[in-house]
Homo-oligomer: A and B are copies of this chain.
Amino acid sequence: MNAFVKLRTLSVGAVTVGGIFACGVYNHQSKKNVVIAKTVEARNDTGKYMAEPVTPMAKLAADSSMQSSMELFIMGVQADLCRALEEIEGKRQFTVDRWERKEGGGGITCIMDDGKVFERAGVNISVVKGNLPPKAVEQMRARGRKLEQGKTLPFFAAGVSCVIHPRNPMIPTMHFNYRYFEVEQDGKKIWWFGGGTDLTPYYLDKTDVTHFHRTLKRACDTHNLSYYGKFKKWCDDYFVIQFRGERRGVGGIFFDDLDTPSQEEAFAFVKECANAVAPCYLPIVLKHKDDGYGYAERQWQLLRRGRYVEFNLVYDRGTKFGLFTPGARIESILMSLPSSAKWAYKHTPKEGSKEHELLQVLKNPKDWV
**Cα–Cα distance between A328 and B109 once the two chains are bound (Å):** 38
Please tell me if the beta carbons of B97 and A328 are within 8 angstroms of each other in the complex: no
**Cα–Cα distance between A251 and B244 once the two chains are bound (Å):** 31
Q: Which residues of B contact A111 (CB under 8 A)?
A: 345
**Cα–Cα distance between A229 and B203 once the two chains are bound (Å):** 52
- Number of this chain's copies in the complex: 2
Contact of A313 among B309, B335, B339, B344 (CB under 8 A): B309
Q: Which residues of B contact A95 (CB under 8 A)?
A: 345
Please tell me if the beta carbons of B342 and A339 are within 8 angstroms of each other in the complex: yes
Output the least CB separation between A41 and chain B (Å): 28
Q: Which residues of B contact A243 (CB under 8 A)?
A: 323-324, 328, 330
Interface residue tally for chain A (C-beta within 8 Å): 31
Output the least CB separation between A119 and chain B (Å): 11
Q: Let me know if A256 is at the binding interface, CB within 8 A.
A: no
Contact of A337 among B109, B244, B306 (CB under 8 A): B306
Q: Let me know if A184 is at the binding interface, CB within 8 A.
A: no
Q: Which residues of B contact A330 (CB under 8 A)?
A: 243-244
Known: A339-B342, A341-B340. A323 touches B314 (CB 8 A): yes
Q: List residues of A whose CB falls within 8 A of some B CB.
A: 95, 97, 109, 111, 113, 122, 243-244, 302, 306, 309-310, 313-314, 323-324, 328, 330-331, 334-335, 337-346
23 residue pairs A–B, Cβ–Cβ below 8 Å: A97-B345, A109-B345, A111-B345, A113-B344, A113-B345, A243-B324, A243-B328, A243-B330, A309-B309, A309-B341, A310-B313, A313-B314, A314-B314, A314-B323, A331-B345, A331-B346, A334-B343, A335-B345, A338-B343, A339-B344, A341-B341, A341-B342, A341-B343
